[in-house]
Amino acid sequence: MKSKAAVILFCVFAVLIADNAVGGVWTELKWDEPLYSAGTFNPTAIYGDTIVGTYIPKDGHGSQGFVYDGNEFKKLSKPGAYSTKPYGVYDNLIVGAYNDSGSSYNYQGFVYDGESFTTLNNPHTTTTLLKAIDGDRMLASDTSTVTNDYMFDNFSWEEFEIDGAAPYTVKALDLDGDTIVGRYKDENGTNHYYVRTGDTLEILEKPGASSIHGAAVDNGLIVGTFSDDSGSHGFIYDGTSWITVDKPGAYNTSFSAIHGDTIVGRYSELNGYQYDQGVFIYTIPEPATLALLTTGLLLMRRNRAIN
């Protein structure tokens, strides 16, 4: 088992690190919609060919949603709402939050099935933002600072708790099966990112990183963004090894979400005295895809066996 894992990890590094971790296919995702600014075009989730996210229209009328099906964009705005923010997608279901007044204290959760919006609110919190979905399970956040995040499962709400976390700081960002990634603050106010699979908790600590910003998970692979002295970079973590991925020519690279071998994110490039911003679709190169997926699944099975 150990020798096979070593071979797998070697293959991963041979493909991704030997070429400065810029293998794979980078595709620019552009939308002709008039935006308030390029920096407001933000992908939040991906499932198959479907990408969802948010943008601010040029008239500045609150954040609105978009759905990209691999060929064309469609706007996603709840009728009568001031702001509509899709955060997660699974099959034909999209989850997110909307508000009617523009206030951050008036958000309500929604589930959109391609035809109609259904409001879903957490009875334990004052606001509800549905942040991710996997099957019939969803993650729910609150804009207030007096609650942790919740899991919605089988019509019940369960609050997240982590030993050593400061009160009301446990946040859940994404889920895949029984694996959840998120963040919390300790009693000293320091941010930590975590991976929880069943009863097993791992704290994400990337060597050399000054901080981690955001994380998403699919099939045992965790992606996100970290910062160091040279800027912001995307990362892929398989439970053992960290791989840095930078978009060629970009000053900053940020990973937002993953499904299968496809990652969506944002980047910025220095253009004279300003930064140009954009959105990309990144396909993890073969054979690294199979190697990483195999490694991740092996580690998940090993953790379950230990538990």
Cβ–Cβ under 8 Å, residues 87 and 132: yes
State the angle between helix axes of 288-306 and 2-16 in degrees (0 to 180), rounded to the nearest 10. Answer: 140
Is-contact 101 82, C-beta < 8 A? yes
User: What value does the mean pLDDT take over residues 103-124?
Assistant: 92
CA angle 66, 283, 194 (to 5 degrees): 80
% pLDDT > 90, the chain: 72
Cis peptide before 57 (omega within 30 of 0): no
> In 164-194, which positions are buried (b, 16+ CB within 10 angstroms) versus exposed (e)?
ebeebbbbbbbbbeebbbbbbbeeeeeebbb
Q: Which of 241, 243, 239 is nearest to 300 (CA)?
A: 239
Three state DSSP letters for 228-274:
ECCEEEEEEECCCCEEEECCCCCCEEEEEEEECCEEEEEEEEEECCE
- Lowest mean pLDDT of 59-63, 117-121, 202-206, 226-230, name the range: 59-63
- Rounded Cα distance between 67 and 43, Å, is 9
Residue 11: CA count within 13 A, CB half-sphere: 17
DSSP SS3 for 15: helix
For the ranges 114-118, 270-274, 300-304, the one whose mean pLDDT is highest: 114-118
Judged against a pLDDT cut of 60, whether residue 6 lies above it is answered with: no
Residue 278's pLDDT band, with cuts at 50, 70 and 90, is very high
Residue 242 has pLDDT above 90, yes or no: yes
How many residues are there in the chain? 307
State mean pLDDT over 266-285: 88
CA–CA gap between residue 184 and residue 168 (Å, rounded): 9
Tell me the pLDDT band of 155, cut-offs 50, 70 and 90.
confident
Confidence of residue 275 (pLDDT cuts 50, 70, 90): confident
Q: Is the pLDDT of residue 218 over 50?
A: yes
More confident of the two residues 7 and 102: 102
Phi, psi of 306 (to 5 degrees): -65, -40
pLDDT band for 59, please (50, 70, 90 cuts).
Answer: confident
Range scoring the smallest mean pLDDT among 4-8, 191-195, 249-253: 4-8
**What pLDDT does residue 302 have?**
43
As given in the structure block, the two tokens for residue 136 are: 């019939």
At 289 the pLDDT is 52
CA distance 53 to 40: 10
What 3-state class would DSSP assign to 5?
helix
Say how many C-beta atoms besides its own lie within 10 A of residue 46's C-beta: 25
- Segments in 99-247 forming alpha helices (H): none
What residue type is 176 in one-letter code?
D
Kindly report the CA angle at 248 between 247 and 254, in degrees rounded to 5? 15
How far apart CA 145 and CA 160 sit, in angstroms, is 14
Q: Is the pLDDT of residue 31 over 80?
A: yes
**Structural contact between residues 77 and 65, judged by C-beta atoms closer than 8 angstroms:** yes
Structural element, H or E, at residue 21: none
Residue type, 115: E
